Amino acid sequence: MSNVAVLLPAYNEEIAIGSMVLLSLNYADEVIVIDDGSSDRTAQISEIAGATVLRHQTNKGKGVALKTGFEYASGYDIIVTIDADGQHNPSEIPNIVKPIEEGIADIVNGSRYLNGHDTSTPRYRRIGQTVLDTATNIAADVKLTDSQSGFRAFSNDSIKYFEFKPDGFGIESDMLIEASQNNLRIVEVPISVRYDVQTTRENPVIQGLSVLMRILEIMRFNRPLYFYGIGGSIVLFFGILIILSLKMTIFEFNLYYQAIGWAIIAIGVILILSGIMTDTFNRFKN
């Protein structure tokens, strides 16, 4: 029987943290709350509920909180991460750890969308989620349906492959990319989720863009053919569009606009060639 630790990274989650700890204790040997600089009673309530509390004096972000938790829980066979805001259902922890216990997975990703679209997901969230899923899947060369899920399970052997570089929410995509790069087996299982609880206090658009920028940064080095190829193709398309539109209209400074169009086309071609050359170099190096 595997021993299991549950990590709950938390920042000002006094409303939900007590119930999350109590429910998680039914399925874990130890529940660890990483209090990431909370100004409310998150730490006190967590301790009363029976959790081990690790404290950051200031808010350092989810990535740092997870690093603290993983380091503390390194002696456990399986480590489960779950959001502290009450969105996830701790009673699903056995489903999350099962593929690892059966020896068919190194990492298990809880997915809201594995059995089709979750109709309860707000539309604006689903659009952003689709963009991040697509970018993560390209960067990691995987096919996952919920790349931003915070409900996951990790085998002890997988922990050493994670660098925990992003401070914030980009950590979800980073871990999947690092797992794929190290040929870890990733399995998805369906989970439920609630949206009638208070979630992240950050602007979701700003948060989503910051995660996307992080994924693109990784893709630039790991999947250059996609990064430069897609970007170059878009630039090339607009350049060609300008040239074709000039042939259909009469501009007073036609040569000026033609020069702009051909310059944009040249930039697109350079980007595509850069992707091909970088990808070829990476393949040769490996």
Residue 76: CATH number of its domain: 3.90.550.10
**45 shares its domain with 140:** yes
The reported pLDDT for the residue numbered 238 is: 78
Tens of pLDDT, residue by residue over 95-121, are 999 999 999 999 999 998 887 655 566
4-10 vs 78-81, strand pairing mode:
parallel
**198 shares its domain with 263:** no
**165 shares its domain with 262:** no
Share of the chain above pLDDT 90, in %: 49
Cβ(60)–Cβ(36) below 8 Å: yes
Tell me: pLDDT of 285 over 90.
no
**179 shares its domain with 274:** no
CA trace torsion 164, 210, 183, 92 (10° rounding): 80
Q: Which of 221, 256, 277 lies at the terminal end of a domain, its last residue?
A: 221
Quote the number of domains for the chain.
Answer: 2
**170 shares its domain with 136:** yes
Identify the domain containing residue 158 by its residue range.
4-221
Give dist(CA 274, CA 196) in Å, integer.
47
Nearest residue to 171 (alpha-carbon basis) of 73, 65, 62: 62
Give dist(CA 199, CA 75) in Å, integer.
30
Q: Which of 198, 221, 244 lies at the terminal end of a domain, its last residue?
A: 221
**248 shares its domain with 279:** yes
**193 shares its domain with 207:** yes
The reported pLDDT for the residue numbered 202 is: 60
Tens of pLDDT, residue by residue over 253-275, are 567 777 888 888 888 888 788 87
* Helix pair angle (204-222, 123-140), 10° resolution: 10
**161 shares its domain with 276:** no
The reported pLDDT for the residue numbered 248 is: 62
Cβ(214)–Cβ(174) below 8 Å: yes
- For the chain, what is the largest distance between any 2 Cα atoms, rounded to a whole number of angstroms? 79
The reported pLDDT for the residue numbered 179 is: 93
Tokens standing for residue 167:
């401070």
Tens of pLDDT, residue by residue over 178-219, are 999 899 999 999 999 887 665 555 655 566 566 666 666 666
**126 shares its domain with 151:** yes
Tens of pLDDT, residue by residue over 135-165, are 888 878 889 999 889 999 999 999 999 988 7
Q: Which of the four pLDDT bands, split at 50, 70 and 90, describes residue 68?
A: very high
**74 shares its domain with 166:** yes
Tokens standing for residue 16:
């939900």
Q: Which of 190, 221, 252 lies at the terminal end of a domain, its last residue?
A: 221
Q: What global pTM score does this model have? A: 0.75
